[in-house]
């Protein structure tokens, strides 16, 4: 090649490279995916990752059809938005065969359901068209991308471009921002400096798990006969006489719009909560467990268009069951609703309640103690301060070789191994045929922590000190194979029923004797 030809080739190469750079400077990077036979695209910078459809999705009450629910991904609660239902509210719900694209826009995370991934596209400006946003489907579509192959129109592809800013604001989605790991660690460290974690009560309504802070729970009772009220309706189911006080009862499932399975009447409870200076009863399907938590454990959740959004503090992830929606009890009802349900019942029915209960100032001032009622072959109760937490009795515990028969196994409870004791075996009682309702009460003494298996947890009751009675001597004579041989006191309930009082120290003495054999 002559020097002139070589120079010309170099100049041509430089020109080609320059044109490539010029083209590249105007390129936009998109990720594409398929949904319902259509192809969509999102700016690549807004796509964090793609994950499989999660096994556990927590449904959100009072949410629009396009919200499938929320799931937790590495410590962050993420809403799952079904685009198909944005385009058509009657479209089918998402399925386990689908995938989720995690959209990260201005630190707001949203999961988008789609059928299959596409490809990464480099798009030139002339391949794009931009449209103004409208309502409905057009609210999240910001334009199109036309890809032509070989200049043949039959092989062209038309992709609809989604607008990240619109997707994180569907139906007024609050801006729930992802919390950095450093922020979360610092917050947890602050709370760990406290001696005890806070506790919450988990309950079920309409097939969804909810939680109240224990400080809000006044008492949990079996469902009595509800009295007719002039305020009865879809939410208010009547009122009860709660120790001389007229308390309105609200159907919690109806309040949050849950359409779950019908509850078993035997499991239903009334959760009496204190809201400000008022008492309010919530009719719930079941009371599940008491568990400790730190505020940093409650993950923020985006609520899609719910008028009662203020009641939701966030999502509490759980390893032992469905994720739980943590509620702010003070905002469950509006001020007007509180005035109607609480103050209204008190104004109309308080005189009747006071006369029936024979309440007076001295009885109102009687000191009351909180007890946890449970079953173990017979009715039992224990001072709730003796129970650190309540957890489900799950199978598969590891049993150490050579352990006494009363040791059910070892359980890893938040990075701490505890021994689980079968109280029926410890006290020579026959095994239980159906263990579906069994729970583990976690007890603590100094640095030691044990779990004890009980047949069922019933309720939380408040009783005066005068309700404690000495245990009959027959129960302490050792004539029966029952835990009641360790009982020194019993509790007498207002309806005349009697519950044996579980004593933690007496249990530890019996356990030490069994372990020493």
Q: Three-state secondary structure along 185-237? A: HHHHHHHHCCCCCEEEEEEEECCEEEEEEHHHEEEEEECCCCECCCCCCCCEE
When pLDDT is cut at 50, 70 and 90, the band that residue 180 belongs to is very low
Pick the CATH number of 368-516 from 1.10.760.10, 2.40.50.180, 3.40.50.150, 2.40.110.10: 2.40.50.180
- Residue 334 confidence (pLDDT): 80
Q: Tell me whether residue 127 is exposed, middle or buried, using C-beta atoms within 10 angstroms of its C-beta: 0 to 12, 13 to 18, 19 or more.
A: middle
% pLDDT > 70, the chain:
80
- Residue 440 confidence (pLDDT): 92
Joined together, the tokens standing for residue 99 give: 């995938």
Give the global pTM.
0.58
CA–CA dist 400, 225 (Å, integer): 49
303 has a pLDDT exceeding 90: no
Torsion angles phi and psi, residue 348, rounded to 5: -85, -40
When pLDDT is cut at 50, 70 and 90, the band that residue 113 belongs to is very high
477 has a pLDDT exceeding 50: no
Pick the CATH number of 187-363 from 2.40.50.180, 1.20.810.10, 3.50.50.60, 3.40.50.150: 2.40.50.180
465 has a pLDDT exceeding 70: yes
Q: Give residue-wise pLDDT tens across range 403-445.
A: 888 888 888 887 788 889 999 988 888 888 888 889 999 998 7
Joined together, the tokens standing for residue 161 give: 């471009």
Secondary structure class of 40 (helix, strand, coil)? strand
Please name which of 258, 223, 425, 235 lies closest in space to residue 334, comparing C-alpha atoms. 235
Alpha helices by DSSP H, 250-320:
252-256
Q: Which helix (H) or strand (E) holds 119?
A: strand 116-123
Fold match flag (25-167 vs 368-516): yes
Give me the residue spans of the domains in the chain.
25-167, 187-363, 368-516
Longest dimension (CA), the chain: 119
When pLDDT is cut at 50, 70 and 90, the band that residue 194 belongs to is very low
Lowest-pLDDT choice from 224-228, 239-243, 479-483: 479-483
| Mean pLDDT value across the chain | 79
Q: Give residue-wise pLDDT tens across range 242-258.
A: 888 889 999 998 888 87
- Residue 124 confidence (pLDDT): 85
CA–CA dist 316, 297 (Å, integer): 6
195 has a pLDDT exceeding 50: no
User: Residue 290 in contact with residue 201, Cβ under 8 Å?
Assistant: yes
User: Residue 76 in contact with residue 63, Cβ under 8 Å?
Assistant: no
Beta-bridge mates of residue 147: 157
CA distances (Å), origin 403, targets 425, 427, 453, 482: 13, 16, 17, 22
Cβ neighbors of 424 (< 8 A, separation 6 or more) are 376, 377, 430, 431, 432, 453
Q: Under CATH, to which class is 25-167 assigned?
A: mainly beta
> Using the 8-state DSSP alphabet, how is residue 341 labeled?
I
When pLDDT is cut at 50, 70 and 90, the band that residue 28 belongs to is confident
When pLDDT is cut at 50, 70 and 90, the band that residue 284 belongs to is very high
Maximum average pLDDT range among 103-107, 221-225, 346-350, 492-496:
221-225
CA–CA dist 71, 318 (Å, integer): 11
- Residue 210 confidence (pLDDT): 92
Q: Give residue-wise pLDDT tens across range 71-80.
A: 888 778 888 9
Q: Where are the strands (E) in 358-487, listed by range? A: 368-375, 379-383, 387-392, 407-412, 417-422, 439-445, 448-454, 456-464, 468-470
CA–CA dist 31, 321 (Å, integer): 35
Please name which of 488, 441, 443 lies closest in space to residue 468, comparing C-alpha atoms. 488
pLDDT average, residue stretch 58-71: 84
Beta-bridge mates of residue 433: none
């Amino acid at each position: 090649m002559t020097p002139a030809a070589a120079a010309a080739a170099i100049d041509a190469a430089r020109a080609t490279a320059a044109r490539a750079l010029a083209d590249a400077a105007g390129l936009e990077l998109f990720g594409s995916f398929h949904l319902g036979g259509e192809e969509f695209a999102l700016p690549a910078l807004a796509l964090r990752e793609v994950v499989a459809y999660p096994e556990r999705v927590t449904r959100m009450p009072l949410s629009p059809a396009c919200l499938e629910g929320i799931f937790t991904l590495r410590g962050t609660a993420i809403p799952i938005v079904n685009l198909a239902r944005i385009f058509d509210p009657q479209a089918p719900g998402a399925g386990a065969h689908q995938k989720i694209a995690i959209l990260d826009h201005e630190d707001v995370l949203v999961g988008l359901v789609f059928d299959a991934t596409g490809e990464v596209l480099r798009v030139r400006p002339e391949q794009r068209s931009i449209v103004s946003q409208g309502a409905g489907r057009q609210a999240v579509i910001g334009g199109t991308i036309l890809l032509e192959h070989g200049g043949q129109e039959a092989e062209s592809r038309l992709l609809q471009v989604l607008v990240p800013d619109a997707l994180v604001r569907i139906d007024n989605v609050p801006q729930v921002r992802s919390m950095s790991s450093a922020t979360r660690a610092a917050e947890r460290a602050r709370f760990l400096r406290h001696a005890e974690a806070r506790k919450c009560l988990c309950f079920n309504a309409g097939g969804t798990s909810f939680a109240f802070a224990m400080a809000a729970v006044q008492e949990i009772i079996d469902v009595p006969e509800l009295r007719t009220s002039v305020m009865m309706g879809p939410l208010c189911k009547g009122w009860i006489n709660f120790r001389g006080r007229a308390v309105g009862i609200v159907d919690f499932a109806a309040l949050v719009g849950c359409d779950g399975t019908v509850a078993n009447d035997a499991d239903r409870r009334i959760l009496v909560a204190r809201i400000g200076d008022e008492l309010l009863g919530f009719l719930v399907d079941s009371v599940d467990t008491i568990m400790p938590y730190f505020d940093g454990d409650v993950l923020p959740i985006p609520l899609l268009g719910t008028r009662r959004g203020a009641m939701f503090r966030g999502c509490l992830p759980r390893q032992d069951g469905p994720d739980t929606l943590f509620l702010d009890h003070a905002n469950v009802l509006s001020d007007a609703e509180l005035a109607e349900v609480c103050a209204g019942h008190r104004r109309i029915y308080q005189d009747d309640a006071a006369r029936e209960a024979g309440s007076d100032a001295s009885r109102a001032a009687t000191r009351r103690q909180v007890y946890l009622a449970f079953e173990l072959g017979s009715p039992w109760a224990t001072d709730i301060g003796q129970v650190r937490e309540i957890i489900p009795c799950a199978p598969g515990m590891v049993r150490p070789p050579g352990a006494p028969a009363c040791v059910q196994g070892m359980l890893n409870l938040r990075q701490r191994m505890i021994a689980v004791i079968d109280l029926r075996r410890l006290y020579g009682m026959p095994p239980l045929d159906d263990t579906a309702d069994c729970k583990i009460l976690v007890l603590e003494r100094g640095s030691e922590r044990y779990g004890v298996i009980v047949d069922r947890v019933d309720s939380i009751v408040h009783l005066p000190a005068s309700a404690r009675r000495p245990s009959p001597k027959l129960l302490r004579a050792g004539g029966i194979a029952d835990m009641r041989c360790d009982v020194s006191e019993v509790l007498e309930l207002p309806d005349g029923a009697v519950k044996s009082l579980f004593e933690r120290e007496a249990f530890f003495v019996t356990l030490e004797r069994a372990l020493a054999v």
